[in-house]
A and B are shown apart, each in its own frame.
Chain A
Amino acid sequence: AQSVAQPEDQVNVAEGNPLTVKCTYSVSGNPYLFWYVQYPNRGLQFLLKYITGDNLVKGSYGFEAEFNKSQTSFHLKKPSALVSDSALYFCAVRVNNNNDMRFGAGTRLTVKP
């Protein structure tokens, strides 16, 4: 069965600094990987996904993620954090022939001015 792990419950960065939110996955077969962001009392907003091709994926709001097959990772990155990026971030994985999307437990990102 597929699963994802987000090893950090909380990430704190200063505004203007680069940020990284970590995600590792475990699947049988090729993974389809997704990042979502959740603001308080809101649903999940799609940021980006990796299906195939270029390992560096660019998404919404300046975020990007790098697929690393050998390390089974899909870390979310942004070169310069904004206070408004503070939110809960979820990594998720799906595999072919399975409609079950598995989410990590989430990482709370706090960007301080």
Chain B
Amino acid sequence: AQKITQTQPGMFVQEKEAVTLDCTYDTSDPSYGLFWYKQPSSGEMIFLIYQGSYDQQNATEGRYSLNFQKARKSANLVISASQLGDSAMYFCAMREVPDMRFGAGTRLTVKP
């Protein structure tokens, strides 16, 4: 069964605005990791941010932050001050060692 759900196939955001990409997950394992990857049109997979199941604080990496709500099993990615170069596919992933599965992805388009 699908364990990672991204309900937004496509999102649009105006340049310089913030955008939230949704991700929910399902697991009974208390130890897991949540990740976000970016895949630009060139095709490579770029790691953005990580959140551990035991982490008390939300992860942040530059303009990226992860809104982790453990009880709701959600791990939304927030991109602040969007840039044209942020246009890409974004994948949420969950890792339960040694398994790592991905959501269906969200295509983000940043408008000038």
* A in complex with B: no
